[in-house]
Amino acid sequence: MKRILFSFLLVFACINAFAQIPAGYYDGTTGLTGATLKSKLKEIITNGHEDHGYGGLWTGYQTTDRDQFYEGDGTILDIYSENPTGADHYNFTYGTNQCGTYTNEGDCYNREHIVPQSLFNEAFPMKSDINFIRATDGKVNGMRSNYPFGTVGTTSYTSLNGSKLGTSVSQGYSGIVFEPIDAFKGDVARMILYFVTRYETQLSGFSSGNMLGGSAFPGLQAWELNQLLTWNIQDPVSPTEVSRNNAAYVYQKNRNPYIDHPEYVALIWGAPVVDNQAPTAATNLVASNPTSNSVSLSWTAATDNMGVTGYDIYANNTLKTTVSGTTTVVSGLLSSTAYSFYVIARDAGGNSSPQSNVATETTLPGQTGGTSCGTETFDTIPTATPSSYVNRTWTNNGITWDATFARTDETINGKSITIRNGTLTSSTISGGVQSLTLTTQLKYSGTAGTVSVEVNGNIVGTIPYSATATTTTINNINVTGNAVIKIITTSSSSNRIAMDDLSWTCTSTLGTTDATKSQSSFVVYPNPVKNNELYVKGDHLSKISKAEIYDLSGKLIEVIVNPFKNSNKIQLKGLAKGNYILKTDHTSTKFIVE
């Protein structure tokens, strides 16, 4: 937990007093700017630099990477696991928890090269330079791999403290990046700026890794430089950095000048480029290829002065997903339902375009013969202590849900719920369950597996999950009447399974035909209904003695005697938007009110 321990700091300040900036250390820098200042700093921080070898880092961490400012307990200060605003999920004891091998977060800490050592062929002194090599969780270090640092849009992995791996939305780069939490973004930026200063004359021989430049100045690729300059401003130098810089100087006799003199960053590289121009709207949005639970979309790309980084996809004014390309398939939709789609383009500066044109499409009827009965998108789940695994209860669309050991800070198609070794259970629903659809994704670490689905206490099937978001339907459940849905994730005590877009069809005794014009002599139109007027086409309409209108729960809304005696039109009485069933003497069919 972030708190300043004043009494301890006084002691710590005394202990480290000998490690403050040596008098005259930055002599010769006055009045310099740009590449000239950078080269002068390279000269200063190269002189006296002592290389203690790769193994020496473990010893160095005894003084450089200890928590003296958050919990203040002397455990390893790991930027990939530290929670600055609350209790840490786990802690590492110096020496005791040194890697070793790891499988999950919290197993051990190892040596994280903020600039990957593969970029400089593991050469010394870069490989053992403690000024940019941090003690971090082994698992998260492995997930970061050799990816550059940037801002994540679509996330593929999130550590317990919120560090993320995923598709970049950093201005000018669309590859995979790793994003630390806000409290340590400046730390990362200043470590990388140190690296390209200390080793500026060697950069031309290093690989870029989509981050390093090939020349001494500016030393970084334009997009990465702009990102780091932004983080340097957003997260200023902290007492933890000052303390670490002092300890690093004692250990290897050189310093990070951008911690000692933050003003040097702007003097050398200037200010980050600020993008205030929004993208143009995407155009020519087309919806096509509907299935019972998905619709394909395509559109013409938006344009932007700095580059579009992604598109937010909306269905019936609800955000469904974000993609980087100009095509997608929106899944998790209800069958026989009309949807209006639009997209909004975004750039790395956070600017949003106007919405595109609207494209409409209606999903096909469910293939199992059931009617769409319900859906849970998890948009109303409680958000208190989002990263904690606690029991949560909420009510949506008249159904109360209970989730055990659940967190709420993960997403798939918008907000999802993530359960570890727990269950998700509904209150009693009416209409039975014919089929059930769920989107799943394995978060953090673990192995692929399945969750069990119960209806009224009986297992009706399993749904797979993996690191890739997957939508699965269990058909032929065939439970009638009242039902309770329960999803069980207790097959693994370590896997964290995110769930989204739960929906099910019901087995109402109304049993709609959902026939097309070519398959039936009884057709309703237009569908969706316009202006509260429902027309019917078919044989012997005048002989139909009664028409009944039901909602999908089976509730009778209206009875009309001799409905087609004088015309083929039913005047609806202000029905709310939604799906309904028209039942006559011999047939039933579904219609939609917009």
What is the separation of C-alpha 99 from the centre of its chain, rounded to a whole number of angstroms?
29
- Give tens-digit pLDDT for 236-291: 999 999 999 999 999 999 999 999 999 999 999 999 887 788 999 999 999 998 88
Within a domain: 396: yes
- 316 vs 293: which has the higher pLDDT: 316
What's the CA gap between 72 and 84, in Å, rounded? 12
Whether 510 contacts 590, CB under 8 Å: no
What pLDDT score does 31 carry? 96
Q: Quick one: 315 and 391 in the same domain?
A: no
Q: State which H helix or E strand residue 245 sits in.
A: helix 239-252
pLDDT reading at 149 higher than 60: yes
416 touches 405 (CB < 8 A)? no
Q: Which burial class, exposed, middle or buried, applies to 353 when counting CB atoms under 10 A from its CB (0-12, 13-18, 19+)? A: buried
| 171 assigned to some structural domain | no
Q: Is there a single domain that holds both residue 383 and residue 416?
A: yes
For residues 315 and 291, the answer to whether their CB atoms sit within 8 Å is no
- 200 shares a domain with 112: yes
**What pLDDT digit, counting tens, does each position of 74-96 carry?**
999 999 999 998 889 999 999 99
Statement to judge: residues 316 and 390 lie in one domain: no
Determine contact, residues 122/206, Cβ cutoff 8 Å.
no
Tell me the per-residue pLDDT of 360-379, one tens digit each, with 9 for 90 and over.
999 887 544 645 678 898 98
Residues of the chain by 3-state class (helix, strand, coil), percent to 5:
20, 35, 50
Categorize the per-residue pLDDT at 7 as very low, low, confident or very high, splitting at 50, 70 and 90.
very low
The number of domains in the chain is: 4
Residues 6 or more apart whose Cβ sits within 8 Å of residue 508: 370, 371, 373, 431, 432, 550, 552, 554, 581
The domain that contains 297 carries what CATH number?
A: 2.60.40.10
Token pair 């430089």 is at which residue?
A: 225
Which pLDDT does position 454 carry in this prediction? 92
Beta carbons within 8 Å of 398's beta carbon, 6+ residues apart: none
Tokens read off for 274: 């600020």
Do 532 and 564 lie in one domain? The reply is yes
For residue 392, is it left (φ>0), alpha (ψ between -120 and 50) or beta? beta
| β-pair type (423-426, 485-488) | antiparallel
Q: Quick check: bond before 528 cis, omega within 30?
A: yes
Residue 233, CB half-sphere, CA atoms under 13 Å: how many? 12
Q: From CA 390, how far away is CA 546, in angstroms rounded? A: 52
Residues 6+ apart with CB under 8 A from 238: 69, 183, 186, 187
Burial of residue 6 (number of CB atoms within 10 Å: 0-12, 13-18, 19+): exposed
Statement to judge: residues 342 and 473 lie in one domain? no
Pair (395, 478) in one structural domain? yes
* Enclosing domain of residue 335: 283-362
**Under 8 Å CB-to-CB from 105, ≥6 apart: which residues?**
81, 89, 90, 137, 139, 140, 159, 160, 444, 445
Same domain as 105, residue 230: yes
Q: Please give the mean pLDDT across all residues of the chain.
A: 87
For residues 459 and 478, state if they share a domain.
yes
Q: What percent of the chain has pLDDT over 90?
A: 54
- Residue 559: pLDDT band (50, 70, 90) is confident
Q: What is the CATH number of the domain that holds 552?
A: 2.60.40
**Residue 172: inside a domain, yes or no?**
no
Model confidence pLDDT, tens digit, residues 489-521: 876 667 899 999 999 887 644 444 443 333 345
| pTM to 2 decimal places | 0.53
